[in-house]
């Protein structure tokens, strides 16, 4: 006849299981965090939101008691983070998505290796064709999400000059896309 | 020339709307984005922004250890055993411990008390081992041995010295994060507020004794610390001028 473990035995077993689970999650977390964070930050452009997205994916592993195999863990986690980012972008108002240039398309599963290669090509093109001032104005306006007036104040130039640099940068970036079509 | 003008129109339009978004309602903006030329331009700009960001991120190294500390505190806390018996499910009450469970609904969870006590003892043992390890490491580095305890009576006065249950993760010369391990909120906030010369106000006395595991990076500033504290589900903290208000 099978005997049931004593309450203290059950508690001990549960505690051991819990600690093993924690160790497994810790290894996964520490192994993959940097890559997952960078992916989320490249899709959401926001440090806090990126950290939340990655954290949410790991929380879900725990809540749903999902175990990952070493061979497939990275692919699973990258897909999960991408999906989490898409959900976060979808929940935003159309104005915010537009203002921050958040793209749902970028979160599509196939948008990985191809995109990475093309982004590297674009940055090469930017280095060669955009002036340092073009690049600086573009970064402050779109990456730092400053207004044109704030960029003008930061760089000690007029608002019109900021506008001209942005237009010039966008025209050149458009030329890149036309050249690869 | 006219071709150049046609090319410039959507760019000028994009820059105009980006700078003055309130000019358009949601519907008008959506209509503008449905225009194929504008849609293509916005997608290209989003791609370019992403390319700049990816390049920037190549040199960014997130604080993985710190992030794990925060994640573990939220998801592997002793109190995270919930009513359905799932030990991993995230819940607001997971941030409270033993005597700190001052809320009536938590006190009613008597059926879980034995499990909680068992878990609590387990964590205490682990904490004890961790503290012992830190203690030994410190002793090896310095002749000034320091006693580390997990339980200290809470004080409402800002203290000039570091509380015994606050463990610095390193003794290096650079500013290292302070780890509050199972420390009452009141004590923790008093310490944080004192550092930034701020005041603390609790709108609900029950929250004073909630205990948390929290990693405080002083150099991040008070606003960032508050933003991190707000990630705890059971906590709502805001900064009103120079006053930290716990709701």
Q: Are residues B70 and B8 in the same domain?
A: no
Mean pLDDT for the stretch of residues A43-61: 94
Subunit contact A122:B51, Cβ cutoff 8 A: yes
User: How many residue pairs from chains A and B have C-beta atoms closer than 8 A?
Assistant: 166
The pLDDT of residue B126: 54
B220 touches chain A (CB under 8 A): no
Q: Are residues B132 and B231 in the same domain?
A: yes
The pLDDT of residue B204: 81
Ordered strands of the B166-168 beta sheet: B166-168, B178-184, B211-216
Q: Which residues of chain A are within 8 Å of residue B55 when distances are taken between CB atoms?
A: 119, 123
**CA B26, CA A95: separation in Å to the nearest integer?**
7
Q: Which residues of chain B are within 8 Å of residue A174 when distances are taken between CB atoms?
A: 7, 11, 41, 44
Instruction: Look at B231 and B18; give whichever has higher pLDDT.
Output: B18
Residues 30-49 of B with CB under 8 A from A: 30, 33, 41-49
A49-63, A71-85, B81-95, range with the lowest pLDDT: B81-95
pLDDT grade, residue B155 (50/70/90)? very low
* Statement: residue A96 has pLDDT above 50: yes
Element (H, E) at B201: strand B199-202
Q: Are residues B174 and B144 in the same domain?
A: yes
Tokens of B54: 């990816």
A136-145, B167-176, B188-197, B221-230, range with the lowest pLDDT: B167-176
pLDDT grade, residue A125 (50/70/90)? very high
Highest mean pLDDT (candidates A101-105, B5-9, B119-123, B183-187):
A101-105
Residues A149-164 have pLDDT tens digits of 999 999 999 999 999 9
Tokens of B157: 């006065």
Residues B7-57 have pLDDT tens digits of 667 888 889 888 887 788 888 888 888 888 899 999 999 999 999 999 999
Share of residues in chain B with pLDDT > 90 (%) = 12
Q: Which residues of chain A are within 8 Å of residue B50 when distances are taken between CB atoms?
A: 42-43, 103, 106, 115, 119
Q: Are residues B29 and B78 in the same domain?
A: no
The pLDDT of residue B174: 53
Subunit contact B15:A166, Cβ cutoff 8 A: yes
Subunit contact A122:B48, Cβ cutoff 8 A: yes
* CATH number of the domain encompassing residue B108: 3.55.50.30
Element (H, E) at B199: strand B199-202
- Tallying the residues shown for chain B, one arrives at 247
Q: Are residues B18 and B98 in the same domain?
A: no
- Tallying the residues shown for chain A, one arrives at 181
On the CB side of B246, how many CA atoms lie within 13 Å of its CA?
22
Subunit contact A174:B26, Cβ cutoff 8 A: no
For residue B153, give the DSSP letter.
-
* Statement: residue B97 has pLDDT above 80: no
Q: Are residues B73 and B187 in the same domain?
A: yes
CA distance A109 to chain B (A): 15
Q: Are residues B162 and B135 in the same domain?
A: yes
CA distance B165 to chain A (A): 23
CB of B11 closer than 8 Å to CB of B41:
yes
**CA B50, CA A107: separation in Å to the nearest integer?**
11
**Residue whose token pair is 């046609």:** B6
**CA B3, CA B109: separation in Å to the nearest integer?**
73
Residues 56-75 of A with CB under 8 A from B: 58-59, 62-63, 65
Q: Are residues B51 and B73 in the same domain?
A: no
Q: Are residues B108 and B136 in the same domain?
A: yes
**CA B157, CA B162: separation in Å to the nearest integer?**
12
Q: Are residues B17 and B106 in the same domain?
A: no
Mean pLDDT for the stretch of residues B205-209: 78
Cα B163 to chain centroid, rounded: 21
Domain range for residue B118? Answer: 64-246
Q: Are residues B217 and B108 in the same domain?
A: yes
The pLDDT of residue B143: 42
A112-181, what's its fold? Arc Repressor Mutant, subunit A (1.10.10)
Please count the structural domains in chain B.
2
The pLDDT of residue B175: 65
CB of A116 closer than 8 Å to CB of B35:
no
Q: Parse chain A into domains and list their residue ranges.
A: 1-108, 112-181
Mean pLDDT for the stretch of residues A47-64: 93
Q: Which residues of chain A are within 8 Å of residue B25 when distances are taken between CB atoms?
A: none
* Residue in chain B nearest A62 by alpha carbon: B88
- Tell which of B4, B24, B33, B51 to mutate to test the A interface (max A CBs under 10 Å): B51
pLDDT grade, residue B107 (50/70/90)? very low
Mean pLDDT for the stretch of residues A134-158: 94
* Statement: residue B153 has pLDDT above 70: no
For residue A65, give the DSSP letter.
T
pTM for the model stands at 0.57
Mean pLDDT for the stretch of residues A49-60: 95
**Residue whose token pair is 């609904």:** B105
Q: Which residues contact B21 (CB under 8 A, 6 or more apart)?
A: A95, A98, A99, B29
Q: Are residues B69 and B51 in the same domain?
A: no
* Residue in chain A nearest B31 by alpha carbon: A94
* Statement: residue B106 has pLDDT above 70: no
Sign of CA dihedral A134, A137, A143, A147: negative
**CA B207, CA B100: separation in Å to the nearest integer?**
9
The pLDDT of residue A17: 73
**CA B211, CA A166: separation in Å to the nearest integer?**
50
Q: C-alpha distances in angstroms, A173 versus A15, B6, B32, B145? A: 57, 16, 21, 61
Residues 92-111 of A with CB under 8 A from B: 93-95, 98-99, 101-103, 105-106
B223 touches chain A (CB under 8 A): no
Tokens of B100: 């700190």
């Amino acid at each position: 006849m099978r005997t049931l473990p004593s309450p203290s035995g059950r508690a001990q077993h549960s505690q051991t299981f819990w600690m093993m689970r924690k160790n497994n999650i810790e290894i996964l977390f520490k192994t993959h965090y940097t890559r997952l964070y960078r992916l989320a930050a490249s899709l959401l452009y926001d440090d806090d939101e990126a950290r939340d997205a990655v954290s949410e994916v790991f929380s879900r592993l725990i809540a749903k008691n999902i175990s990952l195999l070493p061979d497939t863990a990275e692919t699973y986690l990258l897909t999960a983070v991408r999906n989490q980012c898409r959900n976060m972008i979808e929940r935003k108002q159309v104005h915010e998505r537009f203002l921050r240039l958040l793209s749902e398309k970028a979160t599509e599963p196939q948008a990985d290796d191809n995109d990475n290669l093309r982004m590297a090509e674009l940055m090469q093109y930017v280095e060669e064709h955009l002036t340092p001032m073009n690049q600086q104005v573009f970064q402050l306006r779109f990456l730092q999400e400053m207004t044109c007036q704030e960029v003008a104040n930061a760089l000690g130039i007029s608002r019109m000059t900021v506008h001209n640099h942005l237009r010039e940068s966008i025209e050149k970036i458009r030329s890149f896309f036309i050249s690869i079509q | 020339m006219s071709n150049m003008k046609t090319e410039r129109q959507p760019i000028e339009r994009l820059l105009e709307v980006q700078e003055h978004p309130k000019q358009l309602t949601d519907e008008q903006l959506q209509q503008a984005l449905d225009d194929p030329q504008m849609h293509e331009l916005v997608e290209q700009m989003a791609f370019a922004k992403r390319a700049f960001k990816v390049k920037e991120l190549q040199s960014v190294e997130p604080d993985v250890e710190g992030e794990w500390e925060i994640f573990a505190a939220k998801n592997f806390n002793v109190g995270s055993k919930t009513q359905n018996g799932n030990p991993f499910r995230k819940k607001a009450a997971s941030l409270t411990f033993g005597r700190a469970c001052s809320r009536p609904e938590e006190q009613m969870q008597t059926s879980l008390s034995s499990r909680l006590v068992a878990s609590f003892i387990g964590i205490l043992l682990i904490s004890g081992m961790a503290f012992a390890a830190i203690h030994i490491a410190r002793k090896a580095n310095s002749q000034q041995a320091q006693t580390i305890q997990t339980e200290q009576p809470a004080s409402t006065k800002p203290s000039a010295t570091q509380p015994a249950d606050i463990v610095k993760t390193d003794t290096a010369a650079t500013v290292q994060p302070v780890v509050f391990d199972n420390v009452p909120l009141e004590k923790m906030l008093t310490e944080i507020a004192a550092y930034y010369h701020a005041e603390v106000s609790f709108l609900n006395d029950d929250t004073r004794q909630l205990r948390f595991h929290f990693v405080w990076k002083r150099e991040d500033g008070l606003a960032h610390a508050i933003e991190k504290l707000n990630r705890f589900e059971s906590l709502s903290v805001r900064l009103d001028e120079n006053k930290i208000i716990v709701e």
